[in-house]
Amino acid sequence: MINHAPEVLFIQGVQKTGTSTLVGMLNCHSQIFLLYETAVGPGCISRYGKQLLDRYPDARQFFRSAATLATPYEKLFDYLLKKNPKWSYRYFGDKLITSDPDATQQHRAQRVIFALRDIRSWLCKEPIVHNYRTDLDLVPAAVEYLRYVLGTFRHTHGHRIWLEDLVGHNGEVIGGLAKFPGMSLREHLDRWWEKIGNYDDCDPKSAIDWSSVHPSSRQPPREMDTTFELKPLPFWDGVSASIDPFRNRGVDSSAVPDEEIDSALQLVEGLYRYSPLPLQAAYRHIATARMGITTPLYARSSSESTSPAARRLRLMAERAGLGRLFKRAG
């Protein structure tokens, strides 16, 4: 049992960057408990925050404003430890979905794992097309995302994990993660996709059920969910010039000089000159799938997918003339 107060740890990213998989992986370790989009703080209580409160109603007192982002998590941990003395953790925190690279560092530097993804595959993922309307113009979403990615390089308390590495070099990623929190992870994370969600009923981790609605997080790391072919455009040249040098820096937590980041950000702002740039004008081909789900979100006929969300996205794709652009992966 760990008797000292845990260190607060956050996983941060935007949609479709592997944040759920990282939560599931790390929660396979008995000394790590990462909540899932619980957002312990003021405002509306999230879906998963409500799940936590269903088991621990007295924890409602911690969902309020505090001096730092970490403060309510530290108090919540103390509360859970008193309720469940058997279950103690060295690291305790949450998964945050935000495009603000400074979200976890504003009042006090916190340990954070930044989940990142190649922007070229991110822009064409179905939820991104739907929520950012990249079918109409992908430039605003691209600029926002690149600002976020570059901003993560300012923080020395951050560890960056690219989804492409998580899938293609999973063992190396786990080894790098172990250096970040200073814990042995490999034996706990061996075949992690088979362990996600398998918690003791008395373990506070079992209070939040998220993995059943995120099947992609329980898939073995074999292949990426999206393949694509770009059209040769100056826009993509600008994207490469701004982000590729940082992609090759690896995952270490050392900060990059501000002047390098500022120079890259100037290149990013210059991408607005290519707006509007619809998705169809930027890609020759896109093949995408939802891992763990056999039916693609962009179904070619209503018989292939009948959910309201799938029908809306299919109709949106048809109206935008994306039917031939999107193909079913696999």
Region 95-110: what's the mean pLDDT?
87
pLDDT at position 293 is 65
> Domains in the chain: how many in total?
1
Tell whether 326 is covered by a domain.
no
Q: Is pLDDT of 295 > 60?
A: no
Model confidence at 1, pLDDT cuts 50, 70, 90, reads: very low
pLDDT at position 56 is 97
Q: Is pLDDT of 45 > 90?
A: yes
Q: Is pLDDT of 291 > 80?
A: no
Tell whether 246 is covered by a domain.
no
**Full residue range of the structural domain in which residue 107 is found:** 7-118+155-218
Q: Is pLDDT of 305 > 50?
A: no
Q: What is the pTM of this model?
A: 0.87
Nearest to 201 by CA among 23, 40, 55, 5: 55
Residue 120's SS3 state is helix
Tell whether 77 is covered by a domain.
yes
pLDDT at position 106 is 76
Tell whether 108 is covered by a domain.
yes
Tell whether 277 is covered by a domain.
no
Tell whether 138 is covered by a domain.
no
Tell whether 195 is covered by a domain.
yes
Which tens digits make up the pLDDT trace of 210-262? 988 888 888 899 899 999 999 999 999 999 999 999 987 755 556 688 999 99
Tell whether 304 is covered by a domain.
no
Distant-in-sequence, close-in-space partners of 226: CB < 8 Å, separation ≥ 6: 121, 124, 125, 286, 287, 288, 289, 329
| 329 vs 79, residue with greater confidence | 79
Strand-pairing partners, residue 7, are 91
